[in-house]
Structure 1
Amino acid sequence: MAEAEGHILVVGASSGIGRAVAERYAKQGAVTALARRTDRLAELAAAGIATIAADVTDLAAIGGVLQAAVAERGPLTGLVYCAGVQIIKPMRSLGVDEVERLYKTNLIAPTLFASAFGSARISTRDAVFCAVSSVAAQRPEPAIVPYSASKAGLDALIRGLARELAPRRAVAVAPGWLDTEMTQAHARMYGAEFKEALEKRSPAGAATVESVVEAIAFLMSPQARHVTGEILRVDGGATL
């Protein structure tokens, strides 16, 4: 884990990995949780976590959002980008608005967050930028092709940031399938039979939100100070 005196900004903190990361770091130091769902932010605020209501697809506002977070709680020692959109549809059925929203959320917004993060006015020299990617970046499948492409772009972004933003570090985790609100929205596809098959083909057992959060905590910790530009797969071995 990062040291207690740090300030971590968690982008996409309303549910799933983002919420779990915000709650984990809140036990150690200053955390700012950013999300568009004000009802979820209210729950985090009740737990003593600073919150910012913002939509990451409002690209022009990203610089100001980071400045506000820093003005409130000090320079960032870490930023965890957890916001993500998955659209499960055949390519022929995708609308322009859907594709635009997916790429804005999964790739363009983290690019702009990273651009601002690299400023000495926003983050410390030893700060860490961490993003949530996906195993789909390396294993695109029918009906999630644009999602996979956006995550592959995110992986390339992380590798490039590791070189350009040094000595700041840039890392990512690439989870396999997780039981979250995003996947629960497709309950017909991801029912009991799917989960049972996933467990069987995962040598270390199917990954969980908790295991992904543990991986993020390690990558952002001083123990991983010589790890940068890496995308750590967390899927229990399901994609081996």
Structure 2
Amino acid sequence: MNLEGRHIIVTGAAAGIGLGIAKACVAAGAQVTGFDKSLEAEGLAETGAQFVQLDVTDLDAFEAAIAAAHARAGRLDGMVNNAGVTIKVPFLEMTRAQMETLWTVNQRSVLVGCQAAGRIMAEAGKGAIVNIASVHARATNPGHEGYAATKAAIVAMTRAMAWSLGTKGVRVNAISPAMTRTEIVDEAMQTPDLADRFRSWTAEGEVTTVDEIGALAAFLLSDAGAALNGSDVLADRGMSALLDIFDLEGKRNG
């Protein structure tokens, strides 16, 4: 997973999966530019990455920031569209504003990020894009209708871009994580009952870490992932492999 000398942009890079990806790319030798709407980016700064405060829902500013990062570094070799939002609400109570938030953050920003970075990479004749989707694109539950739809859209877009950008030397792949040990999940797992429940949802009883997702992203961005284009890497530790695995109390059946 050698990214020596390459320049990678990561959105939503100040915390969680985005920070894990930024760390992995820096460790593999890349120069990283991290975008995030939060100003609390101490962890990102510690990696040595360049931080840009940006809300990806401002699509014009997002596109301009990609162009500026490219100009500053003199190259753009990889783009990771990670910024996203989760809204869980009973379907019949979902508001239009919530729908708009989900689609603007999770789908439109990814489409714009792919297009803006894709144009730059296509001109250079090489590059790699990684879009962060979710296990909800394949297996979901009530309350996540809008969220699941946006993540399924990311997977579909990624598949189409395998040819629209692949013919120009740019690979596009997705990663679909299940529950991942972000700061929020780690905090919740301080409660033993919740920790046991989360671990029961995977075949080997482990919860994926942000560093593990970061390693997957670095692999897809590197030449080691050259055979993958239009793929969706399901990183759920088997969570979605069984039907009716949980009862209504969230306990494992059988």
Q: TM-score, normalised by structure 2?
A: 0.85
Letter of the structure 2 residue corresponding to residue 176 of structure 1: A
Equivalent AA in structure 1 for residue 63 of structure 2: G
Residue in structure 2 matched with residue 176 of structure 1 by the alignment: 178
Residue aligned with 1:119, SS: helix
Tell me the residue number matched to 1:53.
53
Q: Does the Cα contact within 8 Å between 1:125 and 1:168 map onto a contact in 2?
A: yes
User: Residues 237, 225 of structure 1: CA spacing in aligned structure 2 closer, same or farther, 3 A cutoff?
Assistant: same
Query: In structure 1, the residue corresponding to 2:40 is in which secondary structure?
Result: helix
Which has more radius of gyration? Answer: 2
> Which residue of 1 is the match for residue 70 of structure 2?
70
- Tell me, yes or no, if the aligned pair for 2:24 and 2:215 is still in contact at 8 Å: no
Aligned residues of 1:70 and 1:122 also touching (Cα < 8 A):
no
Could you say what secondary structure the match of 2:33 adopts? strand
Matched residue type, 1:172? A
Q: CA deviation at 1:125?
A: 2.4
Q: How many residues align?
A: 237
RMSD in angstroms over aligned alpha carbons? 2.2
Where 2:32 maps in the other structure, the secondary structure is: strand
User: TM-score if structure 1 supplies the norm length?
Assistant: 0.90
- 2 CA distance for matches of 1:182 and 1:154? 24
1:166-211 Cα offsets, whole Å, 9 max, x none, are 12000011111123245579x59x9643442342342233322222
Correspondence for 2:13: 13
Identity of aligned residues (%): 27
Check whether the contact 2:79–2:130 (CA below 8 A) recurs between aligned residues: yes
Distance 1:191 1:29 in 2: 37
Mapped to 2, the partners of 1:192 and 1:122 lie a distance apart of 49
SS in structure 1 of the partner of residue 80 of structure 2: strand
Q: Distance in 2 between matches of 1:124 and 1:191?
A: 50
Task: Name the aligned partner's letter for residue 75 of structure 2.
Answer: P
Cα distance in 2 for partners of 1:134, 1:50 equals: 27
Q: Which residue of 1 aligns with 2:245?
A: none
Q: CA deviation at 1:140?
A: 2.5
**Aligned-pair distance for 1:73?**
0.9
How far apart are residue 214 of structure 1 and its match? 1.7
Q: Could you tell me how far apart the structure 1 residues matched to 2:22 and 2:30 are?
A: 10
Unaligned runs of 5+ in 1: none
